[in-house]
Chains A and B, each alone.
Chain A
Amino acid sequence: MIKFAPIVWRNLLRNKLRSLLTGGAIMLAIALVCVLRTAPEGFDAFLKALAKNSRISIHNTAGIVYSMPYAYLSRVRAVPGVVDAVSWSWFGGAVDVDEGVAFPNFAVDAETIGVVFEDLGMEPAAVEHFRTHRDGALVGRMTMKRFGWQPGDEVTLTSTVYPLTLTFRISGEIPADQDPRFWLQRAYLEEALKAQGIASDQIGMIWARIDQAERVPAVMKQIDDMFRNSEAETESETEKSFFQNFFSILQGIIAVFLIVSWLVTGCIVFIAANTASMAVRERLRELAVLKAIGYRWRLLFGTLLAEATLLSTLAGASGALLSLGFTRVLGTLASTTPQMGPLSGFEVTNWILVQALFIAFFVGILSGVVPSFGAARRSVAATLREVF
């Protein structure tokens, strides 16, 4: 069959502009599909980077905006398998109240935060400074860079939750490029609230570190069972699951991305089919002559289909490479620009490249099959009557 390859190749290059324009449309569409298809894995990578398997969150079963008693913390700590636990309460502090809360900030227990979030790799000196200084604060690298803060700097935040304005001294950095969090001492917040006559026996949630990842399901069940039928029943979940729920709106967007990627694929089938139809229509006379001199319809169908498929696959391969380059540039930018943070995880994997090539191949088949079949099956005499 290789001897018929020149027929396919030469015909593909017959109308270079049209092939180029159609190929360009397919290339861009496949590039878009590839980039869109990085979203689920990119989001997963983002969650993996954010979450640890052996850390769980315990919050009010009614939702994370509902509080629970601070007394729960000591009971959680006592559960076998729990290495340590830390309370976690939204402070809602803003540098400029008019501009609102620019980064997430929480009141945490200074004694245990370093243990529960040991994996973040914070400087021991910073953790120790935070533990021993009531106005200390640990701040994510993203926020540090954004505001140009350095350890030792004084930062004043006005709470949007409490009638408080507190000044902090930065103890150190949470060393993750995309980490925006700001942690302050719960004891500092309690003291300030007490001075205002506000009770502070509630917390937002608890983070606990479990000694072994395999024990996580059992420990979560034990904790939730422990608080069943209490004033605030709890729901425990892994950190990854917590963030998944927290970012559930993003998952909706990802579903939209995937739907869009299939719609884009459908669009390019029609674009390519239109081109294939035009290409075939222009050549009806030649096809009739080839059939007259003995070319069987299956052979002509094969060459026409191969032409559509070759164009689509070549364009698809170019699109896949384009998306690879695009996401790499995006990743490089994200590594130097913290605001672009999660985009660094959006990577065109080999699996996505393979999918893209298959999509392009099938786009070629789908777009070419109807016009090619119609042209190849036309009666020679009928075609000759029409075109001569």
Chain B
Amino acid sequence: MIELRNVSRFYQRGADVVHALEQVSLEIPAGRFVALMGPSGSGKSTLLNILAGLDRPSDGQVSVAGRKLGDLSEDELAEFRASHLGFVFQFFNLIPVFSARENVELPLLLTHLNKAERRERAETALRIVGLAERAGHMPAQLSGGEQQRVAIARAIVTDPEIVVGDEPTGDLDAKNAEEVLGLLRTLKQEFGKTVVIVTHDPRAERYVDEVLLLDKGVFQGSRPGGAAAGAAPAHGAPR
């Protein structure tokens, strides 16, 4: 469960104060696939960063997987992210000097697993995303879609409860975007992950359980996604 209570985020930009988020309150139950949508500058990425423990709100409370993130120190937050969250970014952000398997192993270096165990888990994650045969390839030898699938494997290799994605299809063609969205859907359906993505991609609506709408930093409410049949909706408090 992800829960935000009256979350606001202000930035100081020169003499101006930018209100990126204002009094956002919402809940995302465990096991949901949710898309945060809205125009550019609506505060989607800020909200994602806050619920993923990458940024702190100026005001309000954030609770993820039963932990109040505001109570955690920087180191505790890093540890929390390592064990509870997986991240997928728009530009894949694989480390170019490591092979696909080594990239997937990166989060496991923070665990106590030995080399063989790390390798086995990385290969399992790559198998889930359909890239077991390309484990030894360097990122430059992979297509954009394949790189994003490696990034998804990296996000799930520690078996986190929550996977967050910031425009995970933003740099992909239509075919690869569909594949990645399908894969994220599989993570929710087959592995029970909570998946939260920020996206502009209208295709995403067909794969998610619910779309949460933001505009000018204000939560505007939600609508069911194309895969919502039978799913419990996320609860929000639009203003």
Interface residue ranges, A against B (CB under 8 Å): 3-4, 6, 10-11, 13-14, 285-286, 289-297, 379-381, 384-385, 388
Complex Cα distance A297/B74, Å? 9
**Which of A3, A11, A290, A384 contacts B49, CB < 8 Å?**
A384
In the assembled complex, the Cα of A289 lies from the Cα of B78 at a distance in Å of 12
User: Is A293 a contact partner of B54 (Cβ separation < 8 A)?
Assistant: no
Q: Are B75 and A296 in contact (CB-based, < 8 A)?
A: yes
**In the bound complex, what is the Cα–Cα distance between A10 and B97 (angstroms)?**
6
B90 contacts A by Cβ under 8 Å: yes
Contact A388 B90 (CB under 8 A): yes
The 8 A CB mask of B73-96 against A (1 = contact, 0 = none) is 011001101110011011101011
In the complex, what's the smallest C-beta–C-beta distance from B234 to chain A, in angstroms? 23
Contact of B54 among A11, A292, A295 (CB under 8 A): A292
Partner of A294, one of B78, B89, B115: B78
CA distance A292 to B110 in the complex (A): 13
Given known contacts A11-B97, A381-B49, A381-B54, is B81 in contact with A289 (CB within 8 Å)?
Answer: no
Tell me the nearest residue of chain B to A290, going by C-beta.
Answer: B106
Q: Is the CB of A379 within 8 A of B106?
A: no
User: Contacts A293-B154, A295-B78, A296-B78 given: A380-B55 contact, CB under 8 Å?
Assistant: yes
- Asked if B209 is at the interface (CB within 8 A of a chain A CB), the reply is no
Identity of the chain B residue whose Cβ is nearest the Cβ of A294 in the assembled complex: B82
Q: In the complex, which residue of chain B has the Cβ closest to the Cβ of A283? A: B95
Chain B: number of interface residues, binned into ranges: 20 to 34
Provide the bound-state CA to CA distance between A296 and B74, in Å: 8
CA distance A285 to B45 in the complex (A): 16
Q: Does B166 contact A (CB under 8 A)?
A: yes
Chain B hits for A388, CB < 8 A: 45, 89-91, 166
Select one of A3, A6, A11, A381 contacting B55, CB under 8 A.
A381
Contact A14 B87 (CB under 8 A): no
Closest 9 CB pairs of A and B: A294-B82, A381-B55, A10-B97, A289-B93, A380-B54, A381-B49, A296-B78, A294-B81, A293-B107
Whether A286 pairs with B55 at a CB distance below 8 angstroms is: no
Q: List 25 A-B contacts (CB under 8 A).
A: A3-B109, A4-B109, A6-B102, A10-B95, A10-B98, A14-B97, A286-B95, A290-B106, A292-B52, A292-B81, A292-B87, A293-B81, A293-B82, A293-B87, A293-B106, A294-B81, A294-B107, A294-B110, A296-B75, A297-B74, A297-B78, A380-B49, A384-B45, A384-B166, A388-B89
**Known pairs A3-B109, A292-B81, A294-B82 / 16 extra A-B pairs, C-beta < 8 Å:** A3-B115, A14-B96, A286-B93, A289-B87, A289-B89, A293-B86, A293-B106, A295-B82, A296-B78, A379-B55, A380-B54, A381-B55, A384-B49, A384-B54, A388-B45, A388-B91
In the complex, what residue of chain B is closest to A377 when comparing beta carbons?
A: B74
Q: Which residue of the partner chain A has the closest CB to B93? A: A289
Other-chain contact of A295, B46, B91, B110, B166 (Cβ < 8 Å) = B110
Contacts of B107 in A (CB 8 A): 293-294
Q: Which residue of chain B is the closest to A15 with respect to CB atoms?
A: B97
Output the least CB separation between B46 and chain A (Å).
Answer: 8
Closest to A13 in B: B97
- Give the interface centre of A292, A381, A384, A388 by most chain B CB atoms within 10 Å: A292
Interface residues of B in 102-145 (CB under 8 A from A): 102, 106-107, 109-110, 115
Report Cα–Cα, A388/B93, bound state, in Å.
Answer: 10
- The interface residues of chain B lying within 8 Å CB-to-CB of A290 are 106
A384 to B55, CA, bound (A): 10
Say how far B53's CB is from chain A's closest CB, in angstroms: 9
B 148-192 to A, binary, CB cutoff 8 A, 1 in contact else 0: 000000110000000000100000000000000000000000000
> When the two chains form their complex, are residues B96 and A294 in contact, meaning their CB atoms are under 8 A apart?
no
User: A285 is contacted by which of B74, B93, B154 (Cβ under 8 Å)?
Assistant: B93
A385 to B18, CA, bound (A): 14
Instruction: Give the CA-CA distance A88 to B45 in the complex, in Å.
Output: 91
B89 cross-chain contacts in A, Cβ below 8 A: 289, 388
CA distance A124 to B74 in the complex (A): 85
Could you tell me if B55 and A291 are in contact, using CB atoms closer than 8 angstroms? Answer: no
**CA distance in complex: A285, B166 (Å):** 14
CA distance A286 to B87 in the complex (A): 13
Complexed CA–CA distance, A6 and B91 (Å) = 23
Q: How far does the Cβ of A285 sit from chain B's closest Cβ, in whole Å?
A: 6
What residues of A have a CB within 8 angstroms of the CB of B55 in the complex?
379-381
Contacts of B154 in A (CB 8 A): 293
A-facing residues in B29-87 (Cβ within 8 Å): 45-46, 49, 52, 54-55, 74-75, 78-79, 81-83, 86-87
Query: What 0/1 pattern do residues 199 to 224 of B give for CB contact below 8 A with A?
Result: 00000000000000000000000000
- Nearest-CB residue, chain B, relative to A381: B55
Shortest beta-carbon distance from B74 to chain A in Å: 7
Q: How far is the CB of B75 from chain A (nearest CB, A)?
A: 6
Bound Cα distance from A276 to B86, whole angstroms: 30
What chain A residues lie within 8 Å of B91 (beta carbons)?
Answer: 285, 388
